[in-house]
C-alpha cells in the first residue's frame, strides 16, 4: 500500500431497489484497492448493530413500527457509524457507501407523504458527515421489477419504487451525478470508476462537509 496523501473521499451510491448499488460498491472498492488507493465499503442499513438488527426485522416484516420510529432508527444507524467514518477519511481511506441519508428521506417520505413534511425527515440527518459526491444509479421501474430477488422485503413493489424515485429527484441539490444503470455490470463499473478516481483526487485537500 502507498502512503495516503490527504484525506480519503466520501462517495455515496444511491438509487431505487435493485439498481445495482451493492454490486457496484463492491467492485469499486476492489478496483481502488488494486490501484493501491486505500478504500473500504460502508453499507446502510448496517444490519450488524443492535439498531441494525431491529431495522432488518422491520424490513423482513417480522416487526411492525410506526413510520416515524423506523425513520429515526435508520438515521440512528448512520449516527452510530459517523465518528468511525470521519476517522477513516482523515486517515486517508476512501469510503464507498452503499446508500445514505438520501435513501433515509426518500423511502420514509415516499410512504408518509401526507402526515409529515419532507423537512421533518431531513432534520435528524443534520450534522452527519456530508458526501463528497453522490452517484445516483438510474433505472426504470419496469427493469427494476425484472431483476432477481425483487419482491421479498418491505418497500419492494413497482408503484412504491416510482414514488421513491420521485422523492430522490426532490432531494438532488443539483450536484448529483445521475448515471444510467441499464448497462452491463463491468461497463457501469468502468464509467463509475473514472468519476470516483476524479473525486478521490479532488477531495484530498478539501475539508469534509457537514449535512
Ligand atoms: N432504506 C435504507 C430506508 O428506508 N431508509 C434508509 O435510511 C436506508 C439506508 C434495504 C431497504 O431499506 C430502505 C431501502 C431498501 O428498501 P438495502 O439493504 O440496501 O436496503 O437493500 P438490498 O435489498 O440489499 O439492495 P437493493 O435492493 O438496494 O439492491 P442494489 O444494491 O441496488 O442491487 P444489487 O447490486 O444487489 O443487484 C440486484 C440484482 O440485480 C443484479 C444483481 O446480480 C442482483 O441480482 N444486477 C444486474 N443485473 C443486470 N445488469 C446490471 N448492471 C446489474 N447489476 C446488478
Ligand atoms: Na443493496
* pLDDT score of 32: 98
Place of cell 488507493: 37
Sequence-ordered list of residues with C-beta below 8 angstroms from that of 44, at least 6 positions apart, any chain: 74, 77, 78, 81, 97, 98, 99, 100, 103
Residue-wise pLDDT tens for the chain (211 aa)? 544 579 999 999 999 999 999 999 999 999 999 999 999 999 999 999 999 999 999 999 999 999 999 999 999 999 999 999 999 999 999 999 999 999 999 999 998 766 678 899 999 999 999 999 999 999 988 888 788 766 677 887 888 889 999 999 999 999 999 999 999 999 999 999 999 999 999 999 999 999 9
Q: Whose CA is nearest to atom 36 of ligand 1?
A: 22
CA of 145 to the centre of ligand 1 (A): 12
The preferred substitution site among 23, 105, 123, 159 for testing ligand 1, maximizing ligand atoms within 8 Å of CB, is 23
Distance (Å, whole) CA 172 – CA 146: 26
Any ligand 1 atom below 6 A from CB of 103: yes
Decide if the complex's ipTM is over 0.95. Answer: yes
Indicate the domain borders of the chain.
10-202
Any ligand 1 atom below 6 A from CB of 19: yes
Distance (Å, whole) CA 204 – CA 194: 16
- Domain 10-202 CATH superfamily: P-loop containing nucleotide triphosphate hydrolases (3.40.50.300)
Which pTM was predicted? 0.95
CB 93 within 8 A of CB 60: no
CA of 25 to the centre of ligand 2 (A): 9
Amino acid at each position: 500500500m502507498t502512503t495516503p496523501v490527504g484525506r480519503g473521499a466520501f462517495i455515496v451510491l444511491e438509487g431505487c431497489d435493485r439498481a445495482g448499488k451493492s454490486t457496484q460498491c463492491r467492485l469499486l472498492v476492489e478496483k481502488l484497492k488494486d490501484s493501491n488507493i486505500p478504500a473500504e465499503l460502508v453499507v446502510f442499513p448496517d444490519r450488524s448493530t443492535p439498531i441494525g438488527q431491529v431495522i432488518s426485522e422491520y424490513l423482513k416484516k417480522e416487526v411492525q413500527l410506526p413510520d416515524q420510529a423506523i425513520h429515526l432508527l435508520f438515521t440512528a444507524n448512520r449516527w452510530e457509524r459517523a465518528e468511525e467514518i470521519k476517522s477513516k477519511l482523515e486517515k486517508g481511506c476512501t469510503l464507498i457507501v452503499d446508500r445514505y441519508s438520501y435513501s433515509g428521506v426518500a423511502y420514509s417520505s415516499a410512504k408518509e407523504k401526507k402526515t409529515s413534511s419532507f423537512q421533518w425527515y431531513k432534520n435528524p440527518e443534520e450534522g452527519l458527515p456530508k458526501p463528497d459526491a453522490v452517484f445516483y444509479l438510474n433505472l426504470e421501474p419496469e427493469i427494476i421489477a425484472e431483476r432477481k430477488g425483487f419482491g421479498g422485503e418491505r418497500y419492494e413493489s413497482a408503484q412504491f419504487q416510482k414514488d421513491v424515485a420521485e422523492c430522490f429527484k426532490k432531494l438532488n441539490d443539483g450536484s448529483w451525478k445521475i448515471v444510467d444503470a441499464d448497462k452491463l455490470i463491468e461497463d457501469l463499473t468502468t464509467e463509475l470508476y473514472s468519476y470516483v478516481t476524479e473525486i478521490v483526487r479532488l477531495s484530498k485537500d478539501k475539508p469534509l462537509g457537514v449535512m
